[in-house]
Amino acid sequence: MTKEYSPIPATAIGDGFTTQEERWNESELKEVEKIKEKIQPTLNPFRKGEILRDLVLQNLNEDFTLTWDEKAELLALEAKQLFNKTVLLQGVRGKDLINRRL
């Protein structure tokens, strides 16, 4: 019900369309337009809901990306902290490591 209907046109055999085939194609286009107008009021609430669902999904994907970026930054900070703790525990040798790293 929510899919777009497309007309089923007649195909030309030979040189071109006959008058009957041309009338068929025109009536198909009109029929599709009638169906579209007829179901439009029924579909409006569903289309609005679909738009809202897409927005919610898009926001969730953004939040997911931000969460992973924050986690990556946190892991980098933890690695630096672990390195600095190790250096501090080593005393004099740790100062050499710091000088080499800078």
| The predicted structure's pLDDT at residue 53 | 87
Separation CA 86–CA 97 (nearest Å): 10
Q: What is the pLDDT of residue 92?
A: 66
pLDDT by residue for the chain (102 residues), tens only, comes to: 566 777 777 787 777 888 888 898 899 999 988 988 888 888 777 778 888 888 888 888 888 887 888 888 888 999 988 888 887 777 767 667 667 765
Q: Which pLDDT value is given to residue 77?
A: 92
Question: Model pTM?
Answer: 0.41
Exposed, middle or buried: residue 4 (CB in 10 Å: 0-12, 13-18, 19+)?
exposed
